[in-house]
Amino acid sequence: GMQGSFTPGVTGSCRDPVTHLNSNDTFDAFIQGDSNRCARTVAVAVAEGSGRDYNPLCIYGGSGWGKTHLLHAIGNYAVQNQKPRPRVLYVTSEEFTNDFIESIRTSGQDNEDPAMEKFYRKYREVDVLLIDDIKFLG
């Protein structure tokens, strides 16, 4: 079945150190079906920078449906095609939450660069923020 291309455990080998994107997950490699055609179309619009109306874009669906793949594809497309090159960051909601908790925990320890400031900067300075598995935040 389709399951093979959407396994969530992304290997570190093809993850970009800055964006955390999996370079293999592109729109070209995306397996499209009736259930995810609309999501792909909207994702392409967002990636092209014409998706101003879809901000934020939330994609939901069953397991193995291609949500993670689409997130990476948006980021990869934006990095390769938008001028000037946007700053893109992919994180899981778990990573996002851990960053937030860590910044609260270490807040006030470093007067030079407060942890909360660092957290805000990390997430506000990106042009395209891709958060996977957002239901985890619930």
pLDDT of residue 107: 81
pLDDT of residue 61: 85
pLDDT of residue 4: 38
pLDDT of residue 60: 86
104-116: pLDDT as tens digits: 888 877 666 788 8
pLDDT of residue 12: 47
109, 116, 36: which is closest to 68 by C-alpha?
A: 36
pLDDT of residue 10: 47
DSSP class of residue 107 equals T
State the pTM of this model: 0.82
pLDDT of residue 110: 64
pLDDT of residue 136: 80
CB atoms within 10 A of CB 123: 15
The parent domain of residue 52 ranges over 2-137
Using DSSP's 3-state secondary structure scheme, residue 130 falls into: strand
Flag residues of the chain having pLDDT under 50.
1-12
Sign of CA dihedral 21, 27, 30, 33: positive
Q: For position 32, which CATH number holds? A: 3.40.50.300
Quote the number of domains for the chain. Answer: 1
7-27: pLDDT as tens digits: 444 444 588 999 999 999 999
Alpha helices in 61-126 (DSSP H): 67-81, 93-105, 115-124
pLDDT of residue 22: 95
